[in-house]
Amino acid sequence: MHPRFEMTHLHPLFFLAEKYSINELKNKVMDAIQDFGAQHRILPGPKNITRIYTNTHEGSTPGLYSVLTRSSVRALSDGESEAQKLAYLASTTPDFLGDYLEAQFKYSARFRPEGVVDPRLRGEKGGFVRCFFHTHAKGEVCNLEGVGSGTK
Ligand SMILES: [Zn+2]
Protein backbone atom coordinates (compact mmCIF):
# COMPACT_ATOMS: atom_id res chain seq x y z
CA MET A 1 0.00 0.00 0.00
CA HIS A 2 1.14 3.50 -0.76
CA PRO A 3 2.18 5.56 2.29
CA ARG A 4 -0.47 8.13 1.45
CA PHE A 5 -3.11 5.47 2.13
CA GLU A 6 -3.35 6.89 5.62
CA MET A 7 -4.35 10.29 4.29
CA THR A 8 -6.47 9.16 1.39
CA HIS A 9 -8.41 6.41 3.14
CA LEU A 10 -7.88 6.03 6.88
CA HIS A 11 -8.33 9.64 7.96
CA PRO A 12 -11.47 10.27 5.86
CA LEU A 13 -12.93 7.06 7.27
CA PHE A 14 -12.19 8.29 10.79
CA PHE A 15 -13.82 11.66 10.04
CA LEU A 16 -16.94 9.84 8.93
CA ALA A 17 -16.95 7.51 11.97
CA GLU A 18 -16.56 10.48 14.29
CA LYS A 19 -19.32 12.41 12.56
CA TYR A 20 -21.73 9.54 13.26
CA SER A 21 -20.20 8.63 16.64
CA ILE A 22 -19.39 5.05 15.69
CA ASN A 23 -16.83 4.18 18.35
CA GLU A 24 -16.00 0.71 17.10
CA LEU A 25 -15.15 2.04 13.63
CA LYS A 26 -13.18 4.95 15.12
CA ASN A 27 -11.14 2.49 17.19
CA LYS A 28 -10.53 0.11 14.30
CA VAL A 29 -9.36 2.98 12.12
CA MET A 30 -7.05 4.22 14.88
CA ASP A 31 -5.61 0.69 15.19
CA ALA A 32 -5.06 0.69 11.42
CA ILE A 33 -3.39 4.13 11.54
CA GLN A 34 -1.01 2.88 14.23
CA ASP A 35 -0.26 -0.39 12.44
CA PHE A 36 0.20 1.34 9.10
CA GLY A 37 2.52 3.91 10.69
CA ALA A 38 4.59 1.24 12.41
CA GLN A 39 4.81 -0.91 9.29
CA HIS A 40 5.81 1.91 6.95
CA ARG A 41 7.63 3.97 9.58
CA ILE A 42 5.52 7.04 8.90
CA LEU A 43 3.69 9.52 11.08
CA PRO A 44 1.43 12.49 10.40
CA GLY A 45 3.27 15.43 8.81
CA PRO A 46 2.36 19.10 9.31
CA LYS A 47 -0.10 19.40 6.40
CA ASN A 48 -1.76 16.16 7.36
CA ILE A 49 -2.06 17.31 10.99
CA THR A 50 -3.71 20.56 9.89
CA ARG A 51 -6.19 18.50 7.89
CA ILE A 52 -6.86 16.24 10.88
CA TYR A 53 -7.51 19.19 13.18
CA THR A 54 -9.76 20.83 10.62
CA ASN A 55 -11.90 17.71 10.28
CA THR A 56 -12.14 16.32 13.82
CA HIS A 57 -13.63 17.37 17.13
CA GLU A 58 -11.62 18.79 20.00
CA GLY A 59 -9.72 16.03 21.79
CA SER A 60 -10.10 13.50 18.98
CA THR A 61 -7.73 10.54 18.95
CA PRO A 62 -6.02 11.23 15.57
CA GLY A 63 -5.15 14.68 16.96
CA LEU A 64 -3.73 13.14 20.12
CA TYR A 65 -1.84 10.59 18.03
CA SER A 66 -0.37 13.45 15.95
CA VAL A 67 0.66 15.33 19.08
CA LEU A 68 2.37 12.30 20.58
CA THR A 69 4.12 11.09 17.42
CA ARG A 70 5.53 14.62 16.86
CA SER A 71 6.59 14.66 20.52
CA SER A 72 8.52 11.43 20.10
CA VAL A 73 10.25 12.81 17.00
CA ARG A 74 11.23 15.98 18.83
CA ALA A 75 12.70 13.97 21.68
CA LEU A 76 14.89 12.04 19.25
CA SER A 77 15.86 14.67 16.68
CA ASP A 78 18.35 17.51 16.69
CA GLY A 79 15.43 19.87 16.42
CA GLU A 80 15.99 22.04 13.34
CA SER A 81 13.49 20.47 10.94
CA GLU A 82 11.06 19.67 13.75
CA ALA A 83 11.15 23.32 14.85
CA GLN A 84 10.17 24.34 11.32
CA LYS A 85 7.25 21.90 11.34
CA LEU A 86 6.04 23.20 14.70
CA ALA A 87 6.33 26.81 13.51
CA TYR A 88 4.18 25.91 10.50
CA LEU A 89 1.62 24.24 12.76
CA ALA A 90 1.66 27.19 15.17
CA SER A 91 0.52 29.47 12.36
CA THR A 92 -1.91 27.11 10.62
CA THR A 93 -3.26 25.08 13.54
CA PRO A 94 -3.05 26.85 16.91
CA ASP A 95 -5.16 24.12 18.54
CA PHE A 96 -2.42 21.62 17.74
CA LEU A 97 0.16 23.81 19.44
CA GLY A 98 -1.97 24.05 22.58
CA ASP A 99 -2.39 20.26 22.70
CA TYR A 100 1.30 19.78 21.97
CA LEU A 101 2.39 22.04 24.82
CA GLU A 102 -0.04 20.33 27.19
CA ALA A 103 1.38 16.94 26.21
CA GLN A 104 4.94 18.09 26.99
CA PHE A 105 3.90 18.46 30.62
CA LYS A 106 1.43 15.60 30.87
CA TYR A 107 3.63 12.95 29.22
CA SER A 108 7.10 14.37 29.79
CA ALA A 109 8.35 11.16 31.40
CA ARG A 110 7.57 9.26 28.18
CA PHE A 111 9.63 11.55 25.98
CA ARG A 112 13.02 11.42 27.65
CA PRO A 113 15.80 10.74 25.11
CA GLU A 114 16.88 7.57 26.93
CA GLY A 115 13.46 5.95 26.73
CA VAL A 116 11.18 7.62 24.20
CA VAL A 117 7.86 5.88 23.60
CA ASP A 118 6.65 5.14 20.08
CA PRO A 119 2.91 5.96 19.88
CA ARG A 120 2.66 3.65 16.86
CA LEU A 121 3.13 0.64 19.13
CA ARG A 122 -0.10 -0.51 20.73
CA GLY A 123 -0.08 -2.40 24.00
CA GLU A 124 3.61 -3.25 23.70
CA LYS A 125 6.65 -2.29 25.68
CA GLY A 126 7.82 1.08 24.40
CA GLY A 127 4.32 2.17 23.33
CA PHE A 128 1.08 3.19 24.99
CA VAL A 129 -1.53 0.83 26.43
CA ARG A 130 -3.86 -0.97 24.05
CA CYS A 131 -6.87 1.34 24.37
CA PHE A 132 -4.93 4.61 24.65
CA PHE A 133 -6.24 5.89 21.30
CA HIS A 134 -9.66 4.24 21.63
CA THR A 135 -13.00 5.72 22.54
CA HIS A 136 -15.20 3.45 24.66
CA ALA A 137 -18.59 4.39 25.97
CA LYS A 138 -19.58 2.89 29.31
CA GLY A 139 -20.20 -0.84 28.94
CA GLU A 140 -18.80 -1.00 25.41
CA VAL A 141 -16.50 -3.94 24.73
CA CYS A 142 -13.21 -3.18 23.00
CA ASN A 143 -12.90 -4.45 19.43
CA LEU A 144 -9.55 -5.94 20.45
CA GLU A 145 -11.02 -7.91 23.34
CA GLY A 146 -9.70 -11.43 22.95
CA VAL A 147 -7.28 -10.42 20.17
CA GLY A 148 -3.68 -11.18 21.03
CA SER A 149 -2.47 -10.64 24.57
CA GLY A 150 -1.46 -7.03 24.45
CA THR A 151 -2.89 -5.26 27.44
CA LYS A 152 0.51 -4.52 28.97
ZN1 LIG B 1 -10.11 -0.49 23.29
Q: Which of 32-41, 63-72, 74-83, 127-136 bottoms out in mean pLDDT, i.e. has the lowest?
A: 74-83
> Residue 23 Cα, ligand 1 centroid: separation in angstroms?
10
Q: What are the CA-CA distances from residue 95 to residues 10, 53, 56, 64, 86 (Å)?
A: 22, 8, 11, 11, 12
Residue 152 domain-assigned (yes or no)? no
Residue 24 lies in a domain: yes
| pTM above threshold 0.85 | yes
Looking at residues 16-29, what average pLDDT do you find? 97
> 38-51 pLDDT, tens per residue?
999 999 999 999 99
The amino acid at residue 62 is P
In a domain, 145, yes or no: no
* Residue at 92 is within a domain: yes
- Domain limits at 52? 5-115
DSSP string, 83-128: HHHHHHHHHH-HHHHHHHHHHHHHTGGGG-GGG---TTSBSSTTSB
The predicted pLDDT at position 3 comes to 66
CA of 79 to the centre of ligand 1 (A): 33
Q: How much distance in Å is there from the Cα of 26 to the middle of ligand 1?
A: 10
- What digits encode the pLDDT tens for the residues 82-95? 899 999 999 999 99
Does 134 fall in a domain?
Answer: no
pLDDT at 78 over 80: no
Under DSSP, the state recorded for 94 is H
Count up the domains in the chain and report the number. Answer: 1
With respect to residue 130, please indicate whether it lies within any of the assigned structural domains: no
Residue 84 forms part of a structural domain: yes
- Measured in whole angstroms, the distance separating CA 3 from the mean position of its chain's CA atoms is 16
